[in-house]
A and B are shown apart, each in its own frame.
Chain A
Amino acid sequence: MATGILQVKAISGHAGAPPGRGVQREEEVCKYIDVTTCIGCKACEVACVEWNDMPFQQTTFDNTYQTMPSTAWNYWNLIKFNEYQKDDGSLMWLMRKDQCMHCEDPGCLRACPADGAIVQYTNGIVDFQQENCIGCQYCVSGCPFDIPKFNGTTKKVYKCTLCSDRVGQGLEPACIKSCPTGCLKFGTKTDMRALADKRAQQLREHSGFPNAGVYDPPSVNGTHVIYVLHDITHPERYGGLPANPQIPVTYTLWKRVAKPIGLLMALFAAPVAFFHYITEGPKEAQPPSPGFGEPRPPEGERPQ
């Protein structure tokens, strides 16, 4: 990253070592989402659409605050509104900002057959490169969070970039910048995880949410977008957040191991056929054509 290259190594006329020498840069970024302080204002949605210059997406009305059922190819960030009735009968809003989770082990990337259509940066951002996308939509079935969305006109798949264009220039993602309550934060993975753990502890100890916890699922080696949830034991209440997100074995074991072995085994038929010809020879129609296989006349009898 540009800021990394411009770290000062030596300074003229400076007493002592350059400040910051030996400092280790933590490269992995993370988006922190505290759903307990989200007010559902949708500022992040607007910021996302504006920064990414998306065409208008028609909203739907189903008698709730939900403006559309799911994210779309041109709508990468959507608040999921869920009314949840607590045990005492009182109502509770569970609002979750839904977007790409930027998995450390991304199912979309594993599923994708097109060279360079999906990349993962060292900072953890998983990014689609539409110029290399062939539109097969394997990524859609590889993703445990139902994030990649297909555009039938361009025949390409799109999703949240975690504002890789902004982050690359040292800026925070657009959604973070717009959040009025501070429920969205952006920083290194270590910092955000520590902050999330602290907030969850606070919720457990002081706010009456004994099951509060951090959603950073280990089944995909953690994510670069983490949630603080009131109740970590029931993530599915937050608009279908999977408790144990899984990449189909089709895209792990089968694709990496069985497919290449299978292809080599199938292609093995070609040398088998070739060496069958060399060793056994062709099966001729009988009797062979006149002239074929006739004994050669002895040396002296050959026509001169």
Chain B
Amino acid sequence: MSTVVHTGELLRHPVYTRVLHWSVAIFFILSLLSGFAIYSPWLFHGLTAIFGGGPMTRLLHPWFSLGFVISFALQILNWIEPMTWTADDRRWLRRLKAYVSNEETLEPEYVDFFNAGQKLYFWAIVVSALVFFVSGIPMWFPRTFGRTVVAISYVLHDLAALVMLIGFIIHVYEGTAAQPGTFTSMTRGTVEKRWAWTHHPAWYRRVTGRDPRADYEQALRRLAERRRDA
């Protein structure tokens, strides 16, 4: 179990992080599909069929969720340090519009391992996972908690599901189509150096000890030379 880092690449996510991420992802998707089967009558027949019918969907859903909660708890411990909110993140959020509209091609020099958007997604999932877990227990054992607690939990559970669904859609988009080169960080564990100096310059500076801006400009010059030669 190791990560092969080729020339021109950097180690982004070690094996442990990747295994956790995909455990979380698998349990999340299973919980999501089995949960939304029960969420709406319009989804009931289509989604319960995946899990072998309504009763089996209901039986499996809390266990999928438990898998999600446990693997995500480990991921929180794993990521608590790089996910800590800093003053730089507040600065980053102020230029969110420029980020979304791709106005700037290079991220500001202070963006470290995770940018503020990634951190926001992470903490949104932490909060909604907590709401999920706390509201899910009365729904799993309704006789112990009584009808009022269950009725309130039901709304909280739905709200957490909707927050997670929105976050999940954006997360998948950002990790694949929106930023080419990102997906390999969670599969092979590596990213290209130019990806690192583009999206996470402060992290690039930390792990390579080099100036991200200078390296970018050097690469740009080299590209121009190659074009001239061609």
* A residues at B contact (CB < 8 Å): 113-115, 132-138, 140-143, 146, 150, 155, 248, 250-251, 254, 258-260, 262-263, 265-267, 269-270, 273, 276-277, 280-287, 290, 294
| 18 other A-B residue contacts (CB within 8 Å) besides A259-B158, A287-B219 | A113-B38, A113-B44, A115-B44, A134-B57, A135-B58, A141-B151, A250-B151, A254-B155, A263-B162, A266-B166, A267-B165, A269-B169, A273-B169, A276-B100, A280-B102, A284-B180, A284-B198, A287-B220
| Bound-state Cα–Cα, A254 to B151, Å | 10
User: Hey, what's the 0/1 contact readout for B150-171 against A, CB within 8 Å counting as 1?
Assistant: 1110110011001001100110
User: Cβ of A284 and Cβ of B45 under 8 Å apart?
Assistant: no
User: Cβ of A114 and Cβ of B158 under 8 Å apart?
Assistant: no
| Bound-state Cα–Cα, A203 to B104, Å | 84
Which of B72-80, B85-93, B141-149 lies at the binding interface?
B141-149
**CB-CB < 8 A to A285: which residues of B?**
180-181, 192, 194-195, 198-199
List 15 A-B pairs, Cβ < 8 Å: A113-B39, A113-B44, A134-B57, A135-B59, A136-B38, A141-B142, A141-B147, A141-B148, A142-B151, A248-B147, A250-B152, A259-B40, A260-B42, A290-B223, A290-B227
User: Cβ of A140 and Cβ of B173 under 8 Å apart?
Assistant: no
Determine whether B179 belongs to the interface, using a CB cutoff of 8 Å to chain A: yes
User: Cβ of A294 and Cβ of B39 under 8 Å apart?
Assistant: no
- 10 nearest A-B residue pairs (beta carbon): A248-B151, A134-B54, A141-B147, A273-B173, A141-B150, A269-B169, A285-B195, A134-B58, A266-B165, A250-B151
Q: How large is the interface on B (under 10, 10 to 19, 20 to 34, 35 or more residues)?
A: 35 or more
| Bound-state Cα–Cα, A179 to B204, Å | 85
B186 smallest CB distance to A (angstroms): 16
User: Which A residue's beta carbon lies closest to that of B167?
Assistant: A269
User: Cβ of B106 and Cβ of A259 under 8 Å apart?
Assistant: no
Q: A113-B38, A113-B41, A286-B216 are in contact. Are A138 and B154 (CB under 8 A)?
A: yes
| Bound-state Cα–Cα, A267 to B146, Å | 32
Determine whether B94 belongs to the interface, using a CB cutoff of 8 Å to chain A: no
**CB-CB < 8 A to B4: which residues of A?**
none
User: Cβ of A260 and Cβ of B151 under 8 Å apart?
Assistant: no
Kindly identify, within residues 179 to 230 of chain B, every residue whose CB is under 8 Å from any CB belonging to chain A: 179-181, 192, 194-195, 197-199, 216, 219-220, 223, 226-227
**CB-CB < 8 A to B216: which residues of A?**
286-287
* B residues at A contact (CB < 8 Å): 36, 38-42, 44-45, 48, 54-55, 57-59, 100-102, 105-106, 139, 142-143, 146-148, 150-152, 154-155, 158-159, 162, 165-166, 169-170, 173, 177-181, 192, 194-195, 197-199, 216, 219-220, 223, 226-227
User: Which A residue's beta carbon lies closest to that of B168?
Assistant: A269
**CB-CB < 8 A to A280: which residues of B?**
100-102
B7 smallest CB distance to A (angstroms): 15
| Bound-state Cα–Cα, A50 to B208, Å | 81
User: Cβ of A294 and Cβ of B55 under 8 Å apart?
Assistant: no
User: Cβ of A140 and Cβ of B147 under 8 Å apart?
Assistant: yes
User: Cβ of A281 and Cβ of B102 under 8 Å apart?
Assistant: yes
**CB-CB < 8 A to B57: which residues of A?**
134
User: Cβ of A262 and Cβ of B198 under 8 Å apart?
Assistant: no
| Bound-state Cα–Cα, A250 to B223, Å | 61
User: Which B residue's beta carbon lies closest to that of A269?
Assistant: B169
| Bound-state Cα–Cα, A276 to B219, Å | 28
User: Which A residue's beta carbon lies closest to that of B164?
Assistant: A266
Of the candidates A141, A250, A273, the one having the most CB atoms from chain B within 10 angstroms of its own CB is A141
**CB-CB < 8 A to A287: which residues of B?**
194, 216, 219-220, 223
| Bound-state Cα–Cα, A142 to B101, Å | 47
| Bound-state Cα–Cα, A250 to B57, Å | 22
A271 smallest CB distance to B (angstroms): 10
User: Cβ of B148 and Cβ of A248 under 8 Å apart?
Assistant: yes
Of the candidates B142, B148, B154, B216, the one having the most CB atoms from chain A within 10 angstroms of its own CB is B154
**CB-CB < 8 A to A263: which residues of B?**
36, 39-40, 162, 165
| Bound-state Cα–Cα, A66 to B181, Å | 71
| Bound-state Cα–Cα, A266 to B166, Å | 5
| Bound-state Cα–Cα, A276 to B172, Å | 13
User: Cβ of B55 and Cβ of A135 under 8 Å apart?
Assistant: yes
User: Cβ of B178 and Cβ of A283 under 8 Å apart?
Assistant: yes
User: Which A residue's beta carbon lies closest to that of B42?
Assistant: A260
A280 smallest CB distance to B (angstroms): 5
Q: Select one of B55, B58, B155 contacting A250, CB under 8 A.
A: B155
